[in-house]
Every structure is written in C-alpha cells, then in structure tokens.
Structure 1
Amino acid sequence: MPTGKRVYNWYISLVAASCMVLYGYDNSTFNAISGSKHWDAYFNHIKSEKKNANLYAALNTAYYVGAIVAGWFFGGPLADWGGRRLGMATGAVLVIIATFMQTFGPRGQIGVFIGGRVLVGMGQGVALTAGPAYINELSPPEIRGKIMSFWQMFYSVGSFIAYWVGYACQKHKTTLGEWDWKMIVIFQLLVPVFIVSMIFTLPETPRWYIQRGNHIDKARDSLRRVRDSEEEVEMEITQIRDAIEFEKEAISSSYSALWKDPSVRRRLFIAFALNAGQQITGQGTLNTYSTIVYQKVFKSDDTIFLINALNATFAILFTLNATWTVERYGRKFLFIVGALGMGVCMILVATVYTQTPAMPGSKTKQLPDGVKSRPVGIAIAFIFFLFSFFYKPSWGATTWIWTSEVFSMNVRAQAVGMASQTQNIANIVCQQFFPLFLNNKGFYAFYMFAGVNFLLAVFVWFVVPETRNVSLEEMDVLFGGTNHVQQGDAMLGHKGSEEVKSVVGSKGAVEHVRKSD
C-alpha cells in the first residue's frame, strides 16, 4: 500500500508531466486543422499539391525551429538559473501568448500565424527541458521509469484532446464557420493555464537548491514532502552534496562538461541518436501528416478525423504498456522489440497500398492515385494502429526515460534539453521532404521508414547500455566514468565518520546502507 508521501510524489510528477500534454496538443494542432476550408479562406490559401506541401512544411518547420532554439540555448540555462518550476511556467506562458496570436491574428496575415507557431515551439522547448529534470530529481529510483512512462502517455493525452476537438469541429463545421479551426487552436490554452496555476504550489527539486547556493535547509524541506523517513532524507541530501561537490571541483560546474567528460560525451551522443531515431521511425511524420496520408485512402473528411481521434485514444492505452514493461524487461529490450515491430508494420502498409487498385472513378487532379476501397482503407488504418502499439511504449516512452535518467546533475537540464530537441531537428528534415516524397512516390515512402527502424534495432543492440535500476548518482559508472557520490564523499571528508553507499536490492529498489569505519 503506497504511503501518502509516495502518492504525493506521483501527484507532483504528473503535474510536471502535463508539459507533455502541452507538447502533444501543440504538435497535433496543425494536423487537426489542415483539412479546414475555413482556415484556407481566412489566410487566403489557394489549395494545390505543390502549395500545400510547401506551406505545410513551412508551418511545421517554424514550430520546430522555435523549439530547437529554445531547447538548445535557453531551456537549460533558465532551468538551472531560476529552477525547474520557473522553466515549466515560462514555457506555458509562451504558449498562452502564441495561442492568442494564432487565433486572433489579422485575416490574411499568415505570417502572424507562423510567428505564433514559432512561439509555441519555443514554449515547448523550454518546458520540455525543465519537466524531465524535475521529475527525475524528485522521484525515487524504483518508480522513476514508471513515472516517466506517464510523461510519454501525456503526449498521447494531448493528441487525444486535439484530435477529438478537431473531430467535433469537423462534424459541426457549418455551424461553427471559421471557428471550426479557431476552436482547435484556442484549446491550447487549457494545459498552459493549468501549469501556470499549479506549478508554484509544488516543491522545487533538492538538487537545484543545493546546486544554486547550497541551500541545504530548503533542499531538506523539499525532500521531506516526498520521502517517508528522516533517514531517507538525510542519506539523499548527503548523496546529492557529494555528487555536486565532485562535479564542481573535479569536472566542471558549467556546460563544458558535456564535451570535456568522455563519459558524459558518450551519453550525449547516444541520447542524440535515440531522440533523432524516435522521430525518423515514421511516428513524427504520421503525427503531423496523418490527415494528408489518409486523404489518399479515404474520401470522407469525417472518417479521417475520426481515425485520427481513435488513434490518439488507443495511443494512451498503448503507452500504458510501458508502466509494467519498462522496469520488468528493461529499456534496451523495449527499444529493440519496438523497432522491429515498427519496421514490419511499415513494410505491410506500403505493400497493402501499392499492391491494391484504386476505386473506379476516384482518380482526380488532386488525387492522381485515387482512393482505396473501404476494406483496404480499414486494413491500412489497422496497420498504422499496430505501428502505434509498438511505438508508444518503446521509442515513444522509453526514449524519454533513458534520456532523462543518464546525465549527472551538473549538466542534466542542458543535456536533456539538447537531446530532446534533437527530435525536432530530425523532424525538420522529415517534415520538409515527406510531403513532396509522398506526392511523388506515394506509399513507397514507407519502405524507407521500414529500413530505418531495422537499422535502429541494430544500433541499440550494439551501442546502447541498459539503465534499469541504476540510481541517478551512480549512472556515471555505467558509462565508464567515476562514481560522483563516492568521489565527492572523499573530497568532503565523510569517510572518517561514516560512508553512504547505494546498492540495488533484489526487487530493483535502491536500499541505503550505512557502514561505520
């Protein structure tokens, strides 16, 4: 039976994880409005295959550029200077401002809408840097993986809200008029307003308090709100102080450790590869362009919006698989099985589409390949759902878990921010070429994603180490570095009295043992 403080630990972690609802909704917004004729009319957009591809690429690139700039250059320094809570709140405020820009921008001024997309991306980049650091610095190791699996699930919750709002607006587009797309955009306010109103009622992380001014009492007060005993609090305070002291004196207190420390550098490069891999599996493209993809399969816009909404609904359930698999089977197992499953799905969907005929009379100038029969369309939609089944608990959830837990305190916020925004760098590349690739080659484009997924499975097998049940302070040893806690302990002179060690218990929980000289 969980204690009250363990329940509270879950509560504060899930409030922080709502930043991912923000990301899921924002990242799905344009896909949800891309079929709106009222949006086209409001911004004087004349539809054509070429213009659609170029405009959609520009709108999505604007979002990702904002996220990358904020995540790489602002998110980490802000979270380290002002705290993890301030980072999350700042990201939420930027999204609130951008929502009003997009919803009430001047008619015909597509530049204002694009500017809003840039600002939304910046908000996402800042919030997604601070959020994982906050969760990991307050969560005990034995539930860290489970909590971070909810981080990815909340992305699916954001998509769920966006697509169901989009479906409802599509069903009532005649009544709503131009509000059929404005309603989708303005619902972006829901989560950032919640974050701003709640985030400063939560404790700041003890690691940040100690790193920024050595505020031991404040750090101790934060831990007392989420740990069951005073002994746990004191042991963790000692570990944090030891690790930070070693990082400050022996490595670097600045971000230069990202490049100077070989073990940190190795982690960073692997994290870059995993986060880029998360998007080039095909998921990033499908999340942005599924409406365009399904327009090549189904005639009815209502059907397309409903499929998107159902996919987002099932994605929540699929992500929950990570909560019981990530600690039982480990991160590496999920990466490999997920990549192989996704690769097979991409082969199947490309084969089904390219080897079946179009419905008679369905070929038009806008759809030169026509659309498929209903049974073929259902088969294709089912395969995309199966793809999501493999993706969500593996490269969806586990990428975030692995990235957020492997870095030491002195570089954690900046490293997580840089690595997570590698997703958006990969997305820029995919979003620029995929609409053109799809128009020119059709579903043959998905064979490329199949090959990518098989290569990712090979990469994980040979390069990525397992991080299950390793405490944050001892992660350095796994990657060829030194134990920051033990080294810091020696530097602070704790060995003469008593030494604090962490050992992994039989069930994966970290047990703290005091050993007297």
Structure 2
Amino acid sequence: MDMVLTAANFLPVTILRRSLYLAAIVACLTAALFGYSVGFVGGVLVLPSFLHHFHLDALLPHDLAAAQARIVTVWLVGALFGVPLGVPISSGWGRRRCLTFSALLYVSGAALQLVDRGGHLSVFNIGRLLNGLGVGAGTLVSPMYISEISPPSERGMLMSGYQTALQLSALVGFWGAYASHAAFPSSSPLQWQLPVAIQLLPGVFLLLGTFLIPETPRFYAERGQFDDAEGSLAWLRALPRGDLELERELDEIREAAEAGELLQSEKPSFLSEARKRGVRKRLGVGIGLMIAQNM
C-alpha cells in the first residue's frame, strides 16, 4: 500500500488505488448512455436516409412532426418508468446487478433499433422504449453506487464525473449525427445506422464492466453481510482485510446502515423529510441543477 505522511501530524494518508476509479468509471457509463441518447436523436430524425428507410419522407409535415415526436416521447416514457423499476432491483438484488440490468435493457434496445430491415417504425420505437427503461434504471442506481463506494474526501469529485460524462456524451451524440450527415450520402443507410449503432459502445462497456466491479459495502452492510462488505471495501481501497484504516471505515458503514434501518422502522413520510431545513436545501439544489441543465 502506498502511503504518504502529512507534515502536520505525520498521520498516514492512503493514496487511493485504481480499483476505486475503475468502479466509478464503470458506473459513470450510465451517464454516457443518458447523454448520448439525448444528444444524437435530434440529428438522426432529420437525416434523409432515416426518413426514407422508415417511409417518413412521404408524410405531410404535420404527420412527420407527430411521428418524430413519438420517437422522442417513447424514450422519455421508458426513462420515466425505468426509475421506479430500478428501485426494487437495486434494493433487492444490489446496486451492481441493477447496473447490469440497466445495461442489458439499453443494449437490447439499441440492437432492436438496428435489426429491422423493413422500415417498421414500431420496431424502432420498441427499441427506444427499452433504451429509455435502461437509462432510467441506470440514472437511479449509478449515483447511488458511486456515493456508496467513495470515501468522503473523494465523493464530490467522483460524483462530478457522472455529470461530466453526461455532458460530454451528449456533445458526442450531437456532433456525431452531424458528422454522419456530412460523411455519408443520403442514399446510404450508414448515414443513420452509424449514430444509432454507437449507442452499443457505452452499453456493452457498461455490461462487461459490471462483472469486474464489486457490490457496494453499504448494500452488504444493510443485510448484515459484514464479511462480504469487508471484502468489497478491501477491493475498492486496495487494502488487506484486517487493516486498521479499513476496519475504521467499515465501522462507519455499519453505523450508517444501522441508523438507516432505524429510520426505516420509523417510516417517516417523504414530505416530512423534505421539509427539514438541511434536506430541503439539498433537494432544491439538486432539482434546480437538473432543470437548469435541460434549458
């Protein structure tokens, strides 16, 4: 284990290992799914090759606008229902398995958007729906996973990686569709298929990555599986079992899990919790940021 000594008190400060960042990067891929899906679709919907393949070029302007709106809306509906779908999965099966589930839905949806050769828009929309479900579930569990694996000193930085990945992937999606329009003739199906196919990259990377990372120590602690929690934390911190620093952090996780269990037994309502001064402020900032980023 690499150590450095602070000049102030000569206490050891652990240099966090790559395993923590690997786990955070894998979780942040859900933001890439979200951002790219939002970024590319507007450019693809107006590509001549896309309109021709799905027989939209023969529609009247009003009907064309309605068809394009449905393509966008069905993804949003999927994302809306994907969030509550992810709640029992992340709570019952675990955060990591919910990430796997999210990736499977997303990849399945992206593949379905490509397989139809007959120009059936309904098949494309079913793919968009699955795609949205995967993004919704992933958007729920990814910040939870990152916060639960991160030490307090690194949590803010790692959580900001999620937002950075979202914005960068949205940028890639927008300009990728533009580049595809410029690079391929309108007669080539690759003009629309390539931007759609790129969705598979972050989805497949996320799916494979979930088999390389552990479940969160907090999830294990909530179920009293403290040996598994210690193993997960040891992997994330690159420390041997029994290390004093590791045991101290594990005790904190255990105490937090017990406090959460006590709070759950009291069954406070959402509104009563949201009215608390500290919670109200944090909730307002979070909602405000999400609204502002979509303006």
Instruction: Give the alignment's TM-score, normalised by structure 1.
Output: 0.50
Q: 25, 48, 52: which one pairs with 1:37?
A: 48
Distance 1:207 1:253 in 2: 18
Quote how far apart the aligned CAs of 1:219 are.
0.6
Of 273, 276, 280, the residue aligned with 1:263 is 273
Given that residues 258 and 265 in structure 1 are in contact (C-alpha distance below 8 angstroms), is that contact kept between their aligned partners in structure 2?
A: no
Do 2:104 and 2:134's aligned partners in 1 also have CA atoms closer than 8 Å? Answer: yes
1:321-348 per-residue CA deviation (whole Å, 9 max, x = no partner) reads: xxxxxxxxxxxxxxxxxxxxxxxxxxxx
* 1:122-141 alignment runs, 5 A limit: 122-141=133-152
Residues 1:50 and 2:49 are matched in the alignment: no
* 1:216 and 2:229 aligned: no
User: Which residue, out of 252, 255, 261, partners 1:239?
Assistant: 252
Counterpart position of 2:7:
none
- The Cα of 1:253 is off from its aligned counterpart by 5.5
Query: What displacement does 1:228 show?
Result: 6.8
Q: Find the partner of 1:83 among 81, 85, 94.
A: 94
Equivalences for residues 376-387 of structure 1 within 5 A: none
1:199 alignment partner, one of 210, 220, 229: 210
Q: Provide the alpha-carbon RMSD of the alignment.
A: 2.7
**Based on CA coordinates, which of the two structures has the bigger radius of gyration?**
1
Match of 1:104 in 2: 115
Q: For 2:86 and 2:268, how far apart are their aligned partners in 1?
A: 17
The alignment covers a number of residue pairs equal to 279
Distance 2:275 2:257 in 1: 18
C-alpha separation in 2, matches of 1:38 and 1:89: 33
- Which secondary structure state, in structure 2, belongs to the residue aligned with residue 240 of structure 1? helix
CA distance, structure 1, for counterparts of residue 114 and residue 89 of structure 2: 28
Query: Structure with the greater relative contact order (CA < 8 A, sep ≥ 6): 1 or 2?
Result: 2
Equivalent AA in structure 2 for residue 186 of structure 1:
A
Measured after TM superposition, the shift of residue 233 of structure 1 is: 1.8
CA contact 2:16–2:237 (8 Å) conserved in 1: yes
Deviation at 1:251? 2.5
Deviation at 1:108, TM superposition (A): 3.5
Quote the offset at 1:70 in angstroms: 1.5
Alignment partner, residue 60 of structure 1: 72
Q: Tell me: CA distance 1:99–1:6, structure 2 relative to 1, closer, same or farther (3 Å).
A: same
Q: Summarize the alignment of residues 385-400 of structure 1 with structure 2, pairs less than 5 Å apart.
A: none
Distance 1:99 1:274 in 2: 33
Partner of 2:236: 226
Q: Does 2:183 correspond to 1:172?
A: yes
Deviations 1:209-231 (A, max 9, x none): 1113x111111111122337622
**Secondary structure class of the residue paired with 1:226:** helix
- Aligned-pair identity (%): 28
Note if 1:187 corresponds to 2:198. yes
1:325-404 mapped onto 2 (5 Å cutoff): none
Amino acid in structure 2 at the alignment position of 1:225? W
Runs (5+) with no aligned partner, structure 2: 5-12
How has the CA–CA distance of structure 1 residues 42 and 269 changed in structure 2, closer, same or farther, with 3 Å as cutoff? farther
Question: Structure 1 100/265 Cα, relative in aligned 2: closer, same or farther at 3 Å?
Answer: farther
Asked if 1:92 is matched to 2:113, the reply is no
TM-score by length of 2: 0.84
Change (3 A) 1:234 1:264: farther
Q: Is the deviation greater in 3-12 or in 16-25?
A: 3-12
- Given the superposition, is the C-alpha separation of residues 176 and 187 from structure 1 closer, same or farther in structure 2, using an over 3 Å criterion? farther
**Per-residue displacement from partner, 1:61-97 (whole Å, max 9, x unpaired)?**
111111111102x111101111111111111111111
- 1:250-307: per-residue Cα shift (whole Å, max 9, x none)? 32259x54538x33565777676555544543x536xxxxxxxxxxxxxxxxxxxxxx
Q: Deviations over 1:221-251 (max 9, x none)?
A: 1112233762222222222222322332x32
| Equivalent pair of 2:31/2:166 in contact (CA under 8 Å) | yes
In the alignment, which of 154, 172, 177 is matched to residue 143 of structure 1? 154
Shift of 1:206: 0.6
> Partners of 2:279 and 2:167 in 1: how far apart?
26
The 1:42–1:271 alpha-carbon spacing in structure 2 relative to 1, beyond 3 Å, is farther
- Specify whether residues 284 and 60 from structure 1 end up closer, same or farther in structure 2 by C-alpha distance, changes over 3 A only: farther
Q: Look up the SS of the partner of 1:204 in the other structure.
A: coil
Contact preservation (8 Å) 1:94, 1:119: yes
